[in-house]
Amino acid sequence: MDLSAFSYQKFVNFALQETKLRTSLAPLPSHEKFRLLRSKDNNTVLRTLSFRAPKIRLVRSLTIEGNRAMQVLDFAVFPEPEFDLPIFCANFFTNASLSIIVLDLNPLYDVTIHTDYKEKYYRKLLPLGKKYFELLPWGGNITGESLRFFSPIVIWTRFNSSQFKHDVLYSAFVDYFKAWLALMDEAVKETSACHVHRNREAQHKYLTWRAEKDPGHPLLKKLVGENLAKELVWGFLFDGVDSLGAKTFLDYFPEYKCDSGTINQKRSVMGKSYEMRPWDLNGEFVGNHSG
Ligand code: BLA
């Protein structure tokens, strides 16, 4: 596929316009320094946008455009801790031949354990997921750890890049984002300090996971170098990892602890599994680790 006429900017524009119809977005000056970056070889442009709004702690996007060869989107919305809303997550990596896609309303609480949370948010959304599962089928084996952060309607897929597939993906993005906004509209502020604390910690655990182990990091490092990549990941993409909580990666994920006390550099200790979609159409978890 010729990527010169293709851009994920359209996805970001839609999401921000749609959000502005419902709430007021305020820019975040602390992120100004990340607005426009270039790769070391000057072939790739990285752009970011970020805002906060009532109920939204952070909505931010990173797009990477590389001379016909690559298009990347990392778009996420993180709610204020007073809300147990899911985290909107769109991570799309596309080169001339292949696209690697994750689109989800990531649950704040692992839905294989917290079935009340699953019922609260995903029961009504199952028909939406079902609409796309055939055209955007399960992408095959995935690192086991990722699954804890996915919902029963996650779209995890890989395809040969084509205009048709990207049109379907755009439609899915629009539907999923509207679904998230509808949840936001309905969300009622949590008043119990204990529940707010729980939400904050759950979001911090999510940020800690992604800031340490997100599969996009090696490519970011290659593009802009280790130091800037680290700043981008900790100070922008997963902003809040240093402020929402004091626990460390190893507090949350002790299975990564090496004998020397450091973090195992492997992305996954569980390895890859889940060859098939591990949820049925009723949102019941039907996977196991050997899956
Ligand atoms: C691959 N990205 C992947 C894979 C997943 C994700 C599941 C497949 C490999 C695997 O099983 O881990 C995405 N994983 C996620 C997300 C969560 C998660 C969103 O756990 C959330 C909890 N992808 C990006 C960005 C880049 C990128 C910004 O979002 C590049 C800057 C690249 N993703 C990328 C590449 C691969 C990949 C190159 C293939 C390489 C690999 O599998 O390691």
Using CA atoms, how far apart are residues 268 and 211, in angstroms rounded to an integer?
14
Residue 291 is predicted with a pLDDT of 40
Dihedral of the alpha carbons of 94, 100, 103, 108, in degrees to the nearest 10: -120
> What spacing in Å lies between the alpha carbon of 250 and ligand 1's midpoint?
21
Residue closest via CA to ligand 1's atom 35 equals 216
> What spacing in Å lies between the alpha carbon of 121 and ligand 1's midpoint?
25
Residue closest via CA to ligand 1's atom 23 equals 216
User: How does pLDDT run across 23-63, given as a tens digit for each residue?
Assistant: 999 999 999 999 999 999 999 999 999 999 999 999 999 99
Compute mean pLDDT per 10 residues along the chain, 291 residues long, and list them.
86 98 96 96 95 98 92 98 98 95 98 96 97 97 94 98 94 98 97 97 98 95 96 98 98 96 93 94 82 40
> What spacing in Å lies between the alpha carbon of 216 and ligand 1's midpoint?
5
Instruction: Give the type of residue at 26.
Output: A
Residue 153 is predicted with a pLDDT of 98
> What spacing in Å lies between the alpha carbon of 188 and ligand 1's midpoint?
32
For the CA of 89, the closest atom of ligand 1 is: 19
Identify which of 6, 19, 15 has the alpha carbon closest to the alpha carbon of residue 67: 6
Instruction: Select from 77, 88, 102, 268 the residue to mutate for testing ligand 1; criterion: most ligand atoms less than 8 Å from CB.
Output: 102
Residue 240 is predicted with a pLDDT of 98
Using CA atoms, how far apart are residues 262 and 265, in angstroms rounded to an integer?
9
Sketch out the chain's domains with CATH numbers: 3-274 (3.40.1500.20)
Ligand 1 site residues (CB inside 6 A) read 64, 72, 74, 89, 91, 93, 100, 102, 106, 142-143, 146, 149, 156, 210, 215-216, 219-220, 272
Determine the 3-state secondary structure of 276 from DSSP. coil
Residue 287 is predicted with a pLDDT of 87
Residue 289 is predicted with a pLDDT of 53
Render the burial of 150-167: b for 16+ CB within 10 Å, e for the rest.
bbbbbbbbebebeeebbe
> What spacing in Å lies between the alpha carbon of 215 and ligand 1's midpoint?
4
Using CA atoms, how far apart are residues 182 and 186, in angstroms rounded to an integer?
6
